[in-house]
Chains A and B, each alone.
Chain A
Amino acid sequence: MRTLFLLLGCLGAFATPALANKVFVSNEKGNTVTVLDSDNWEVLTEFNAGNRPRGIGISPDGKHLYVCASDDDTIRVFDADSYEELWTLPSGPDPELFTLHPSGNPLYVANEDDNLVTVIDTEKRTVLAEVPVGVEPEGMAISPDARFVVNTSETTNMAHFIDTTDYEIKHNVLVDQRPRYAVYTDDGARLFVSAEIGGTVSEIDPNAEGGPTLINKFEFAVPGVEPEWLQPVGMKITADKRWLFVALGPANRVAVIDLSTDEVVDYILVGQRVWQLAFTPDQKYLITTNGNSNDVTIIDVAAQKALKSVQVGQQPWGVVVAPN
């Protein structure tokens, strides 16, 4: 059903008006979540979300909003309609980023302070496993077949491949300094890891014979921007596996990589310190959080142009859009 929607969305601008979806933005300094309407990009409301909300996600049925309240050492779960806090999940200390099993359960979260990935049953609200990983685990992704969870560790500079059946690390791949975020193409054939301080995006062949293998590195260059400020962080890939968008942090730009040619084709100017990205379900729009300008920028995905920026709370960090 959802695939059908995606396909319809991809057919372009002639489709009937897109469904309005709620866009949830975590505001790291404001301790709130801002809710936007993807129809008109108006702010619907802003609600308290605990101390230092960062990583944010939503259950596949769109009912539960998960927010890493980093300074509360917990994941807060909100009703996505009423914004009421329902319960918390035992995330372990300082949760930052997480990924959900495609079914919505379990949830895999990186605990930066303890060099652990914690696996949480979202229904029973219990810890299923704690997996020791490298120093300062951060980025989290799950392969579309749910076979592996990929965690990146910022000081160890590795992507760890955690087997979801026994929670053992099966493979490690070294990448560049301070790997921040990992993302698969929807078919699970390609995997990308951003390195904030290294200034690169590494491509890993996750299905290579003999285990996942580093096969390419993307570098960035913007005239007039000092190279050390080109810091890749959040990433998203279109469902057609064609376009990879990379938030470049303090460079205030989102890089566009054409995955059919593996070329960086454009840099879209957005707000300051662009951090995380999210598509609307129809993938017509990409939303960027801009931490230092306290706004989000809406990008027209097909045109690869920034449409507008909308003020949200203080220091927006993460963003997720409710499914249809």
Chain B
Amino acid sequence: MKPIAIICASLLLSFLVAMPLFALEIRTAVLRVDYPTRVPISRFDLMPDDMGFAGATLGNEDNQTTGSFLGIEFSTEFVATSPDKAGEALAALQADGIALIVVLASDDDLLALADAAGEGALILNAMARGTTLRDVQCRANILHIAPSQAMLADAVTQFAMWKKWPRWFLIEGSNAADLALGAEYRRAAQKFGAKLVEQRIFEDTGGSRRADTGHVLVQRQIPVFTQGARDHDLVIAADASDVFALYLPFHTWAPRPVMGSAGLRPVTFHATHESWGAMQFQTRFEKLANRYVREEDYQAWLALRVIGEAVIRTNSADPATLKDFALGDSFELAAFKGQAVTFRDWNGQLRQPILLTDSKVTVSVSPQEGYLHQRTALDTLGLDQPESACTAFTK
């Protein structure tokens, strides 16, 4: 039954391709909420003004190139807003008739925006990583392009277990987001059989991130902080606030590798990633933006590519039609990660391989060899259907 349906749909499509008689106009927007930020520990992590927007610009261009052969016109608007004006900015976009909206915002703001947007809109989450957004707090009008913290923690854990480094020293920051990330690593350790032999909390005492010759102090503080830990294979850093993790490598008391928020980091994409045609993406992006790509850019690009693919295959601009297609069996998208990305139809999360980078090269890609799943190995990363309390998609 299914192959026939596919062939029929394909026949119809090729007919449409042959004769681009009517123009379909697809209007999208990227809504970015900007927060007051502290200076990052590393200059490489300074936020560019066009963060996310540059990736979306490329995504729209890629869609438009395809659209030009099909009589489909893709356009994107960019809005950056402060948190208190985010609701107004969303309302203005909706009043303008835009219903396909890529959002780069915190967990709480994403949820508020999705609820305000209502059923007629399709929100594509290109930033927020809270696992609860894919769980009890899931919303039927959100597709999560960004991975959850659970997926990222599982990606690191699988690699650590593949290396046979099961004894962990977990160091968490003291902020709520750090503790939440630490909890993800605890859960991942239990899921894959790692042991937390030592756990410590690194207090965020405020103050400026950097001081001249700050490394002199760091070189004395970190060894002392990590002294006397029970025998471990690995240090796992849970530092969502960018307070201490980057100081851990080389400074730990015991000579052990660091993974998580520093050392080997789980990312959706990185400027050094070359495999599976990614060089072509890097080249296109750098030509356009005059800088290296960030995860937010890749995720915004991917969000618009999801829309583009759904539009091209359905020839529709209707958010509900596009969402149904994206969640359906025939949706798949190439994303420079060696296999197609698809959606979990029970919570709207994009399944995707996670890159593990040391910030110079792609060290490995999870899921790791040997982690199997009845559906796809990608579902060994993050919440699986039986674990997810999300019901918004099963109505």
The residues of A with any CB-CB pair to B shorter than 8 Å are 94, 112-113, 115, 134-136, 154-158, 160, 169, 171-174, 176-178, 196-199, 202, 204, 210-217, 219, 226, 228-229, 250
User: Separation in Å of the B6 CB from the closest CB of chain A?
Assistant: 7
In the complex, A94→B13 CA distance in Å? 31
Question: CB-nearest residue of chain B relative to A229?
Answer: B339
- The reply to whether B62 and A135 contact each other, CB–CB distance below 8 Å, is yes
Range for the number of chain B residues in contact with chain A: 20 to 34
Interface membership of B39, Cβ < 8 A? no
Main secondary structure of the interface of B (DSSP, over half): helix
CB distance from A93 to the nearest CB of B (A): 8
Inter-chain contact B334/A213, CB cutoff 8 Å: no
Interface check B92, CB cutoff 8 A: no
Q: Which residue of B lies closest to A195 (CB)?
A: B334
Contact A177 B11 (CB under 8 A): no
Contact between A177 and B340 (Cβ–Cβ < 8 Å)? yes
Contact A113 B280 (CB under 8 A): yes
Q: How far is the CB of A201 from chain B (nearest CB, A)?
A: 13
B10 lies within 8 A of A214 (CB): yes
B242-285 Cβ-contact flags toward A at 8 Å (1 or 0): 00000000000000000000000000000000000100100110
B381 at the binding interface (Cβ < 8 Å):
no
Q: How far is the CA of A160 from the CA of B17 in the complex (A)?
A: 11
Q: Complex: how many Å from CA A135 to CA B336?
A: 13
Q: B377 and A173: CB pair below 8 A? A: no
- When the two chains form their complex, are residues A217 and B13 in contact, meaning their CB atoms are under 8 A apart? no
B333 located at the interface, meaning its Cβ lies under 8 Å from any Cβ of chain A in the complex: yes
Please choose the segment from B64-72, B117-125, B227-235 that sits at the chain A interface, where 4 or more of its residues have CB less than 8 A away.
B64-72
Residues of A within 8 A of B340 (CB): 177, 197-199, 228
The residues of B that contact A94 with a CB separation of less than 8 Å are 280, 283
- Residue B69 contacts which of A113, A154, A172 (CB distance < 8 angstroms)? A172
Closest Cβ neighbor of A71 among chain B residues? B279
Query: Which residues of chain A have C-beta atoms less than 8 A from B312's C-beta?
Result: 157, 174
- Best-buried of A156, A198, A213 by chain B (most CB within 10 Å): A156
- B44: interface (CB < 8 Å): no
Chain B residues within 8 Å of A199, by CB: 340
B37 within 8 A of A: no
B372's nearest neighbour on chain A, judged by CB, is: A226
**CB nearest neighbor in B for A169:** B69
**Are A198 and B332 in contact (CB-based, < 8 A)?**
yes
> Residue-by-residue, is B362-378 near A (CB-CB < 8 Å gives 1, otherwise 0)?
00000000000000110
Query: Contacting B13 at CB < 8 Å: which of A211, A214, A216?
Result: A214
User: Contacts A210-B18, A214-B10, A217-B3: A158 and B69 contacting too (C-beta < 8 A)?
Assistant: yes
A115-B65, A155-B334, A178-B277 in contact; A214/B11 too (CB < 8 A)? yes
Interface 0/1 of B304-337, CB less than 8 Å to A = 0100000011000000000000000000111000
Given contacts A136-B277, A172-B17, A214-B14, contact A197 B65 (CB under 8 A): no
Q: Is B35 an interface residue (CB 8 A)?
A: no
Give Cα A169 to B284, complex, Å: 23
Tell me whether B339 and A216 are in contact (CB under 8 A).
no
- Closest residue to B377 on the A side, CB-wise? A226
